[in-house]
Amino acid sequence: MFNGEHPVPVTIYDVAKQANVGVGTVSRVLNNSPRVSPETRQHVLDVIDTLNFRPSPLAQRLSRRKTLSIGVIAVFFTRPSVVERLRGVEAVIAASEYDLIVYNIETPAKRDDIFCATAANRRVDGLLVISLTPADADVERWRSAGVPVVLVDTHHPALPRIVVNDVLGGYQAAQHLLELGHRQIAFVGDPIHTAFNFTSSQDRLAGMRQALTEHGIAWRPEYHQTGEHDQQAARALTHQLLALDDPPTAIFAASDTQALGVMEAARDLGIRVPEDLSVIGFDDIEIASYLNLTTIHQPLFESGYRGINLLLQSMDVIDSETPREELALDLVVRSSTAPPAHASPALV
Amino acid sequence: MFNGEHPVPVTIYDVAKQANVGVGTVSRVLNNSPRVSPETRQHVLDVIDTLNFRPSPLAQRLSRRKTLSIGVIAVFFTRPSVVERLRGVEAVIAASEYDLIVYNIETPAKRDDIFCATAANRRVDGLLVISLTPADADVERWRSAGVPVVLVDTHHPALPRIVVNDVLGGYQAAQHLLELGHRQIAFVGDPIHTAFNFTSSQDRLAGMRQALTEHGIAWRPEYHQTGEHDQQAARALTHQLLALDDPPTAIFAASDTQALGVMEAARDLGIRVPEDLSVIGFDDIEIASYLNLTTIHQPLFESGYRGINLLLQSMDVIDSETPREELALDLVVRSSTAPPAHASPALV
DNA sequence: CGTCATCTTGGAACCGGTTCCATTTTACCA
DNA sequence: TGGTAAAATGGAACCGGTTCCAAGATGACG
């Protein structure tokens, strides 16, 4: 083999000539059309094999007018949960004929850019948008450009989506703590307004408050702490909670990442989990099981997996419905939650 | 606007007709060729604007015989450091005309598959391989298929690469601890044989041992613990280290992820960091600064950034050299390291 | 004012597949 | 064995750009 030679491109015409058939026949063989006799098919396949022919994906895409690419738009790289969803996406794409194109969003401005660009530049056959909420104008652009879109973990009335019921999840988490006998339950979550309008934290809080109300427990504003979505912010917030005169006996964190911070704060202060403080998270990211964190399991991998399947499906059947799949949430009881030390401790 | 209408495709021929010029002229305008008179250019641009024409990327790719896509192959989703490198990659790609196609590797078998496929199927113009070591056969396949490849954090004599000097990094880490007065220094890292033959942990250990040797400190096998690359494995290993009759006064962890486990173990045991135990990590992932972890800063984002730039560059100039860029490592002193409590404590 | 170099421009050929229609071949049946 | 429907096949047209060459327009200069 020579050095630096450029690969000899074998085309469908070379195959046709070599096999003494027309290009149409070769194309039919390539696409498993039934309109080829078995002998001809085998002969063509032999020639393809001999010449080591691979159809040019570029030519296929142009003539089929499909990019064979799927775009995924998300704020990756900050929340481990999104990365886990992406794993589910990748698993499906890898087994398909499509390529996975990743658009990382770091700012609201970039989000708007990418939303616009994907509608205009015809580079993807379909889009999966994770945890980002498009505006009506974005949706209209995609629609008129003919780009199918599926949402994961977010919502728009006109688009199919894969969601979980965060309100219910928050309710379940609180219910678990209530059943254990806790009455002083605090919440650590995201601010009401995040840069990307993430709503899951608020929804989870809403569910929790509903559960408290049903148990006749009044809401205590001082038990409600919000801050950036990371472990260290949650740690600091927890320090505040635990410094209260009447500290909570249980803390519900809006995500596992934040629950890690809560547990870290407890350790800082020598407060034992779960004996002195129960902690429950949300998401069930990988590390949660290592740390024996009780949490609400959310099927992250599956959300990506199902989302892409829904997208692929909505790409070849043009149905006008907007399916909505709700994935189940499960309480996973590990060892970060337990009944409170005393029925109702008066003071620390 | 109608519902369900398909987008009207405006082609270069429509523009040419509307502007009373030839398609060649429109193409020249699109590609900023200087061979168009200013008046004609402006007129064509106006028409393009009026018709809202966007060139079909599919057609461009076929006629230019470029996929305008770049593939990135890595084991994502397990090590935060790889995700950070990907951020650097994405930042460059987003500003270019290329698309970023992600290939996630989960098993050695899938790695071999993807290595083969990317050489055969002509779907990318270039490849960036992160932390995975290709075999000679893989490299030869890519070469004969004409696919340029750049390696990041790994090595092959025939391929350009972006690396750091892990041996030197390990040396620097140990040197820091030695200068503080430590003499009992342990190491927590990856096993010698990992599924993907990651070598960084071993290299860092080699550097550390060299530093110890230079200081006339004998290597103590019981101070060498290896296990899976995650926080909890490191935590367990550290428990073993700290249970020794003569425990180390400092621990060098082969990565920040593992250093987190070391610190967690110390907290489990009520051992203060840095008063009773110094901990130094490697990588400087985002969380390291929150936790005030002393570590060796490795430019992760930059490695992706520079890697892609090197790739783009080697894609348009066909140089036969194989450049090798070595990025600098920096010791970042935070507050997880300090002089040992006593010059040489006899026992715990 | 003719000549020639330079600048612009039009458009055919091409990239490498798919698709559809016309034609040939085969198969079946009376 | 002739006739006809069905199956198999060939290949032109097409997808929508880029590129290159020939040709026309412009302008400088002797």
Checking if the pLDDT of B251 tops 80, the result is yes
Beta bridge partners of B70: B100, B126
The span from the CA of A48 to the CA of A18, in Å, is 9
pLDDT: which is higher, B187 or A4: B187
Checking if the pLDDT of B8 tops 60, the result is yes
Asked if A128 contacts A344 with a C-beta cutoff of 8 angstroms, the reply is: no
Average pLDDT over residues B141-148: 94
Give yes or no for CB of A23 within 7 Å of strand C: yes
Record: contact A104-B120, CB cut-off 8 A:
no
Find the Å distance, CA of residue A16 to C1' of nucleotide C25.
Answer: 19
Residue B231 parent element (H or E): helix B231-242
Q: Which of B348, B69, B253, B191 is nearest to A67 (CA)?
A: B69
Over chain A, what is the mean pLDDT?
92
Average pLDDT over residues B64-79: 91
CA dist B122 → A155, A318, B65, B70 (Å): 37, 30, 10, 11
Beta bridge partners of B164: B327
Which CATH number describes the domain made up of B66-164+300-327?
3.40.50.2300
Q: Is B17 exposed, middle or buried (0-12, 13-18, 19+ CB in 10 A)?
A: middle
Q: Which of B176, B185, B347, B208 is nearest to B277 (CA)?
A: B185
Band of the pLDDT at B5, cuts 50, 70, 90? low
Checking if the pLDDT of B277 tops 60, the result is yes
Most confident region among A134-138, A197-201, A314-318, B80-84 by mean pLDDT: A134-138
E strands, B148-256, are 149-152, 161-164, 185-189, 224-226, 250-253
Question: Residue A290: its pLDDT value, please?
Answer: 75
Record: contact A121-B54, CB cut-off 8 A:
yes
Tally DSSP H helices, then E strands, for chain B: 13, 12
B58 chain-A contacts, CB cut-off 8 A: 58, 61-62, 65, 67, 122
The span from the CA of A5 to the CA of B43, in Å, is 43
Checking if the pLDDT of B327 tops 80, the result is yes
The span from the CA of A154 to the CA of B140, in Å, is 45
Give yes or no for CB of A62 within 7 Å of strand C: yes
**Cβ neighbours of residue B16 under 8 Å, at least 6 residues apart?**
B22, B23, B25, B26
B69 chain-A contacts, CB cut-off 8 A: 69, 99, 101
Average pLDDT over residues A122-132: 96
pLDDT: which is higher, A65 or B268: A65
Please give the nucleotide, over all strands, whose C1' is closest to the CA of residue B44: C9
B62 chain-A contacts, CB cut-off 8 A: 56, 58-59, 61-62
B95 chain-A contacts, CB cut-off 8 A: none
ipTM of this complex prediction, to 2 decimal places: 0.88
Checking if the pLDDT of B307 tops 80, the result is yes
Checking if the pLDDT of B28 tops 50, the result is yes
Instruction: Output the CA torsion B118→B123→B124→B127 (10° steps).
Output: -10
pLDDT: which is higher, B35 or A174: A174
Domain A166-298 has CATH 3.40.50.300: no
Total residues found in chain A within this entry: 348
Nearest residue by alpha-carbon distance to C1' of C6: B35
Average pLDDT over residues A317-342: 89
Least reliable range by pLDDT among A153-162, B7-16, B175-184, B315-324:
B315-324
CB of A158 within 8 Å of any CB in chain B?
Answer: no
Checking if the pLDDT of B209 tops 80, the result is yes
Checking if the pLDDT of A107 tops 60, the result is yes
Give yes or no for CB of A34 within 7 Å of strand D: yes
Q: Which of A151, A132, A134 is nearest to A198 (CA)?
A: A132
Residues of chain B with CATH 3.40.50.2300: 66-164+300-327, 166-298
Average pLDDT over residues B186-211: 94
Token look-up 């987008």 returns B7
Token look-up 């019981």 returns B222
The span from the CA of A337 to the CA of A331, in Å, is 12
Record: contact B101-A100, CB cut-off 8 A:
yes
Question: Residue B18: its pLDDT value, please?
Answer: 94
Asked if A44 contacts A26 with a C-beta cutoff of 8 angstroms, the reply is: yes
Residue pLDDT, tens place only, A16-47: 999 999 999 999 999 999 989 999 999 999 99
Average pLDDT over residues A228-235: 90
Residues of chain A with CATH 3.40.50.2300: 67-163+300-326, 166-298
CB of B302 within 8 Å of any CB in chain A?
Answer: no
Rg over alpha carbons for chain A, rounded to the nearest Å, is 27
Q: In chain B, whose CA is at the least distance from the CA of A292?
A: B232
Question: Residue B347: its pLDDT value, please?
Answer: 36
The span from the CA of B58 to the CA of A122, in Å, is 9
Average pLDDT over residues B267-294: 91
What does the longest C-alpha to C-alpha distance in chain A come to? 93
CB of A95 within 8 Å of any CB in chain B?
Answer: no
Checking if the pLDDT of A118 tops 70, the result is yes
Nearest residue by alpha-carbon distance to C1' of C26: A37
A121 chain-B contacts, CB cut-off 8 A: 54, 57
Question: Residue A320: its pLDDT value, please?
Answer: 67
Question: Residue A347: its pLDDT value, please?
Answer: 37
pLDDT: which is higher, A110 or B8: A110
Average pLDDT over residues A175-199: 94
DSSP track, B116-162: HHHHHS---SEEEEES-PPPHHHHHHHHHHT--EEEES---TTS-EE
The span from the CA of B240 to the CA of B265, in Å, is 10
For chains A and B, count residue pairs whose Cβ atoms are closer than 8 Å: 107
Question: Residue B211: its pLDDT value, please?
Answer: 97
CB of B102 within 8 Å of any CB in chain A?
Answer: yes
Least reliable range by pLDDT among A224-228, B132-136, B344-348:
B344-348
Residue B99 Cα, gap to closest chain A Cα (Å): 7
Residue pLDDT, tens place only, A286-307: 788 878 899 999 999 999 999 9
Average pLDDT over residues A206-229: 96
For A:17-46, CB contacts with B below 8 A are none
Checking if the pLDDT of B167 tops 50, the result is yes
Give yes or no for CB of A57 within 7 Å of strand C: no
Band of the pLDDT at A1, cuts 50, 70, 90? very low
Q: In chain B, whose CA is at the least distance from the CA of A114?
A: B94
Average pLDDT over residues A75-80: 80
Residue pLDDT, tens place only, A39-67: 999 999 999 999 999 999 999 999 999 99
CB of B348 within 8 Å of any CB in chain A?
Answer: no
Band of the pLDDT at B268, cuts 50, 70, 90? confident
Asked if B29 contacts B36 with a C-beta cutoff of 8 angstroms, the reply is: yes
CB of A231 within 8 Å of any CB in chain B?
Answer: yes
Residues of chain A with CATH 1.10.260.40: 12-55
The 10 Å Cβ neighbour count of residue B154 is: 21
pTM: 0.90
Give yes or no for CB of B23 within 7 Å of strand D: yes
Residue A295 dihedral angles phi and psi, to the nearest 5°: -160, 170
Question: Residue B156: its pLDDT value, please?
Answer: 94
Please give the nucleotide, over all strands, whose C1' is closest to the CA of residue B13: D16
Domain B12-55 has CATH 3.10.300.10: no
Checking if the pLDDT of B320 tops 90, the result is no
Rg over alpha carbons for chain B, rounded to the nearest Å, is 27
Checking if the pLDDT of B345 tops 60, the result is no
Give yes or no for CB of B39 within 7 Å of strand C: yes
CA dist B270 → A151, B1, B224, B254, B277 (Å): 46, 68, 22, 23, 11
Question: Residue B319: its pLDDT value, please?
Answer: 67
Record: contact B90-A84, CB cut-off 8 A:
no
Question: Residue A6: its pLDDT value, please?
Answer: 64
**Cβ neighbours of residue B196 under 8 Å, at least 6 residues apart?**
B75, B105, B108, B111, B131, B132, B133
Average pLDDT over residues B186-214: 94
Nearest residue by alpha-carbon distance to C1' of D10: A22
Find the Å distance, CA of residue A103 to C1' of nucleotide C23.
Answer: 50
Which CATH number describes the domain made up of A67-163+300-326?
3.40.50.2300
Average pLDDT over residues B50-72: 96
Over chain B, what is the mean pLDDT?
92
Q: Which of B56, B58, B90 lies at the smallest CB-CB distance from A102?
A: B90
CB of A65 within 8 Å of any CB in chain B?
Answer: yes
